Structures are given as C-alpha cells and as structure tokens.
Structure 1
C-alpha cells in the first residue's frame, strides 16, 4: 500500500484531507438539524422531515447538472463555487430563526453538495492511475468518517441542540478549505480545466441519452436509490424517533455517540472489508450491504433500548461500508470515456432515497405514533429491501458486459 500512497497526486491529498475537516464541520450540525428544529423551534416531525429532505431533493435534480457542467467548464470552477457557497450557507444557518429559513438554506446546502460531490470524485479519477483508484476512493471514504468521528462530539460539547454558534465554525472551515484548494490549483494550473476533446462536449440532452441507455447503470442506480433510502433513515427518522420516545432520555447526546460509533466502526472495518469485497463483482457488496442495513433497521425498531440500538449501529455500519465503498469504483468502471463527471453526476439521482427517507419516516412517526416502532421500522426496512431485485439485474448486466469486453479484447489481441 505504501508505494501506492506515494503515487497519489498532491491535489488528491488536498481533497482527501479537506474532506476530513469539511465533514467534521458538517457533522457538527446537520445530523442534529431535526432535533434542533423539534426542540428549539417546536417543529412537528413532518415539518422537520421536509426541511431535512429538501437538501437531498435539490441534490436529485442538481447533481447530474453539477457533474455534467464540470465536464464542460472544468472541475476547479465548480469546486470553488460549491465550497465557497457552502461557507455562505452555514452562516445563513447560524442567522436563521424561522423554519422556512432553514428550509431555504438546507436547499442551498443540497445544491452545494450536488455540485461538489460528483465533481470531486471525477477529479480524483482524472488524476489517479486506474490501478490506484480503489485506494483513493476508499481514502476519501475513510476521510469522511474521520471527520464524522470528531464532528458530533464537538457539536455536542458546543450545545448544538440549543445553539447556532456551531454553524459559524462550519462556515469558517469551508472558507479555509476553499482558500487552500485555490492555492493548490495555482500550483497545478494544468488540472481541472476544460477538456479539449470534441467528443467530450456533449450537450446536456445528449449526455442524458447516453446514461439513460446504459442498462447496467440504470439498474444499479435504481437499486442504490433504495439503498440510500435505508441509509437515510439513520440521520432523519432515527433521531426524530429518539427525540420523541419516552424510553430514551437525552436523545441528542446518545445520538451523537451513535454517529461517532458509526464512524469509528467504519474506520476499523473498512479496509479489511474492502479487501474481501474486492474479490467479487462491485454489485455483490451492494446486495449484501442492503440486507445488512434492512436488518439493522428492524433491530432499531424491535428493541428500543440503548444497548440494542448500539448493536444495530454496528450492523448498520457493516451494511453502509459494503454499499458505499465500492460504488465509486463501480461507476468509474461503468462510465464511458470522457463522461466521468456526467456519470458521477447522474448517479446523484440516488439521493432520491435521501429525499424519501425523512418524508416517509416523519409521516410514519406522526401517523402511527412513536409507540408503534416495530411497525414503523418494519415498513422502512421493507422499502430498503425493494432495491435487491434491481441490484441482482444490474449484477447480471455487468457480468455480461464484462464477458463481452473480455471477448472483444481477446479478438483484438
């Protein structure tokens, strides 16, 4: 591994290390947003769910355009717009004192993420040799979880459930991240600009047709929508349930510990699990991860005690790692040459799951009542498992495509 680490581009290291601090800043505040809205602004579960969902809703419609436009105007311009935009958004969160203002700023938060995520992943793929991409994608994923280990604890210490000061800190972190990235791009002026090849300058409608006709990509995308739906309940339905439950006291503190346990578990199991998962087709870990997440959701609702919920977090985390550590490599493998940003952007449509999770969870909590947790979590576990048929079909399509490519290579060889 160490020789591979030396081959990683300095700009990739900047993005990976910046991801640690960026996610730390975000996880100090955003995971507690529904608790803050319910406890501080007296929002209903449905209102809190709508505010949380709007970020992902914007991401569904903007992520494709964010990835596409990075193929057209260059990666670095999109990165600068999104990062400095994030800094402004978090200051807006700090100043907001109405539910509708949180709705607006969380929508802008989703827009920034929809631009940054596919662009940064496409840039990492651009400047990394093919044999090192799995390592780089997993370093980025580990960086996310390093930030998430510290972020919730810092947020709890600063009283995130009652104070908006933490949003100012998040805004400052993103502003500094943007400045460092700006200086790094000045040292590597040949990276992140507009591609010169004519075939890469497809119109938006042409890019949509290319991805829309890719059967493997579409089935994988449909399956991961349901994977993300299950994953999204961890940061939306679960904290609302804990806040409203009579069994769990001091929900913000315990939920913060659960977030940190989730991130620590990722750091412990990620690389051993990835080594195991890399022996299989990239779709197989997604299938196993979906089963683990659905099972953990059942456990959350069936035994609403802290020790069982911590066990459920560990099972949930295993599923999370299986689902998400291989997806970047999978999309990079499926993507057509010159359209990485477009494919990564189109894959952002899986955020539809993050849109539906808080809406479904909020309406179930309000409609059935927090006392009927078994029924509530059984429903959301079942909807998560709806992704399995799509993933199985995607696996078959990818296997057929791989065999076809291998046959063509043998003929040309």
Structure 2
C-alpha cells in the first residue's frame, strides 16, 4: 500500500521536458539565494532605523519597481524573446543586490530598491512565457507547479539560512549571497538551456485572430481576484515578520522557520494536489475560491491575539491557500492569452501582483501604525472575502457568457 502510494507520488513528476527540469533547478538556485525579501521590512526598521511610514514608502518603491519590471519584461519578451530578458534580469539583479547594501539614506535607497526590482521582476513574465514554449500542453499546469515548487523549496531554505546569516554576520551578508546566487543562476541558465531558434511568434500568425476574441472583461475580473489574494500573500514579507517580533518576540531565525514550514509543505504536497485536480478537470476558478477562503482564514485567526501557537495555524491556512490559488491562476492566465501576446498578458498578470505588493505593504503598515495589528488582520480578512466574492462573480459571469453563445 505504502509502495503504491509512493509510486503514485513519483508519477506526478513524470512527463516533463528536460528544459523544464533545468528551469526549475535554476529557479531553485535563484530563489534559495533571495534572502533579502523576507527580512527587508525588518532590515529597514531595525537596522536602518526608519519609521513605519518610511518603511511603507520604501516598500512602495519596491512595488512600483516590480510593476515597471513586470510590464517591461512582458512587453519585451514579445519583442526580443524571453531568453534575452531572463538573462538580462538575472545578471543585472546579481550586481544590484550586492550594491544595495551600501545605500543607507532614505531617498537613495528608494531609488535603489526601485531600480533593483525593475530589473529583477522582468524575469517573471519572461519565465511564464518560457514555460508556455518549453512545456507541452498536457503538462503545462504541472510545469508551473514544478517551477513554483522550486521557488518554495528555495523559499524553505532561504529564510532559515538568511536568519542565521543575519544573526551571525549581519544583514550585509544576505545581500552578498543574493547577488552571487543570481550570478550562479544566470550562468547555469546560459550553459544548460540553449536559446530557442523560433522564440518570437509573429503578430500576423494563425493565432492573431485570438486577440479579437479574448474575453477582456473576464480577464480584468480575474486580475482583480488575483490582486486581492496577492495583497494577503504579501503580508508575509511586510507586517507579519514585524508582528512576530513585536507581539511574540520571535527572532529572525524563528520567523525563518515558520516560512520554511510553508515552503516544505508546498514542496511535498502541491504537485499531488495539482495533479489530482488536473486529472479530474476541476474548475480552476473553484479551486481559486477555496484558496481565497483559506487565505482569509489565516488572518481571521490572528485577530484574537492568542499565544504564539496561533502563528503556526495561521501559516498553515496561508500555505494551503497558496496551494489552491497560485498554480491554477498562472495556468488560467496563460490559457486565455493570445499566442503572439503572451508576454504582454502575463506582464499584466504579474503587474497585478506588483500593485498588490505596494498596497499590501504601504496599506498594511499604515493600518498597523495608526490602529494596531488586530485592525490590520480585520482589514486583510475583509479583502480576502471580497476577493472570494469576485471569484464567485467571475464563475457566474463565465457560465452566463457560455450560455449566451
């Protein structure tokens, strides 16, 4: 029985092309080294001694840079190809991560963070487009999941290691590690993945007619639902690490361990879950609705402010919420994008996350500063419920649209 279940688990990882595995490996190397993000708000608040308001503005610069990078990465992927954009992004990020540690003044740091994220987040839409090219249609959802698992495995290792580095060597050490792992990732990418010969689809190809039939209203409702859940998710990198310390006295290492738990659960469970629902052709929007409910619950349980064990329960709700939302939202977005404009559409999709990062960081920190943490958890719960409502509306909208045809 145990052997049969193990074989079923292994089978969920079969059928991927060699390039998809390599891309997942490169993503792991890159993400394992990205240690600045989970501790950025703490670094700005506790090491550089900025106020809540200043931290909020710097995180806004982070989000604005991410938005511009997502737009440019998507737009340029259609023009010059995903390969060139991914190479530029990884190499540029390696230099900028190392340089950022030497900037400590508020305005210079805002500009530095903006430029860094502009370059770094050009990678995301280009990577989505690369999976559309490298993965076969029947493995596309699982290919997104495989790369996301690589992200989360790196996310499991990175924060814990980053917390230890900060405690022993200071915050400067994680900037060096971030930069060097980005450099390692781009070297691996160039060595193992050859540049595709026919990477760019001409605008006048046989798929061009799709542009006129894309359900624009549906895509916008989908972006709104994705935006809401992303606002909740990005609390992991802004208010929650501060809450861990201010409310319960957790160290960077202990916060890192909570995030490690998140990454490990996703690593071991997400692929079987995605494979299960993919085989049964379950509605992706229904799964996203379940994820929205779980994410909302992760903040609802924090409102009473019980003992620190509630942080584990909250993280479990967030973890399973991610598992039901992100793999299927990625696939859904790509599935309704025109072939010759996938970069642009995935750019809009990733821009919704960048805008969510701005609103999540600035909004969350402002609410905490003015009204306290419990008020922010109420605020986030309301946003999660609103996102759930939008998803239900989108399901009805799509059903009525199909019926009317």
Match of 1:85 among 73, 87, 92: 92
Query: Within 5 Å, which residues of 2 pair with 1:97-176?
Result: 97-159=104-166, 162-176=170-184
Match of 1:11 among 19, 28, 53: 19
What is residue 3 of structure 2 aligned with on the other side?
Answer: none
Query: Within 5 Å, which residues of 2 pair with 1:209-228?
Result: 214-228=216-230
Give the 3-state SS of the residue equivalent to 1:305 in structure 2: coil
Does structure 2 retain, via aligned residues, the 8 Å contact 1:93–1:164?
A: no
1:378 CA drift (Å): 0.8
What is residue 194 of structure 1 aligned with on the other side?
Answer: 200
Cα distance change on mapping 1:212 and 1:58 into 2, 3 Å: farther
Query: Within 5 Å, which residues of 2 pair with 1:178-257?
Result: 178-185=186-193, 187-190=194-197, 193-196=199-202, 198-199=204-205, 214-245=216-247, 248-257=248-257
What is residue 326 of structure 2 aligned with on the other side?
Answer: 324
Does structure 1 retain, via aligned residues, the 8 Å contact 2:214–2:336?
A: no
Does structure 2 retain, via aligned residues, the 8 Å contact 1:72–1:201?
A: no
Cα distance change on mapping 1:77 and 1:332 into 2, 3 Å: same
Does structure 2 retain, via aligned residues, the 8 Å contact 1:25–1:151?
A: yes
| Per-residue Cα deviation, 1:79-113 (whole angstroms, up to 9, x for no partner) | 11111111012112222223334322321232134
Does structure 1 retain, via aligned residues, the 8 Å contact 2:207–2:339?
A: no
TM-score by length of 1: 0.87
1:365 CA drift (Å): 1.4
TM-score by length of 2: 0.89
Does structure 1 retain, via aligned residues, the 8 Å contact 2:29–2:184?
A: no
1:216 CA drift (Å): 1.6
What is residue 5 of structure 2 aligned with on the other side?
Answer: none
Match of 2:311 among 292, 296, 309: 309
Q: Which runs of 5+ in 2 are unaligned?
A: 1-7
What is residue 29 of structure 1 aligned with on the other side?
Answer: 36
Give the 3-state SS of the residue equivalent to 1:301 in structure 2: coil
| Per-residue Cα deviation, 1:244-296 (whole angstroms, up to 9, x for no partner) | 33xx1244232111111111121233123324543421111111111111111
Give the 3-state SS of the residue equivalent to 2:338 in structure 1: coil
1:189 CA drift (Å): 4.5
What is residue 410 of structure 1 aligned with on the other side?
Answer: none
Q: Comparing 29-38 with 1-10, which one deviates more in the overlay?
A: 1-10
Q: Which runs of 5+ in 1 are unaligned?
A: 408-413
Taking the aligned partners of 1:306 and 1:152, their CA distance within structure 2 comes to 19
Taking the aligned partners of 1:76 and 1:401, their CA distance within structure 2 comes to 37
Taking the aligned partners of 1:325 and 1:385, their CA distance within structure 2 comes to 20
Cα distance change on mapping 1:397 and 1:276 into 2, 3 Å: farther
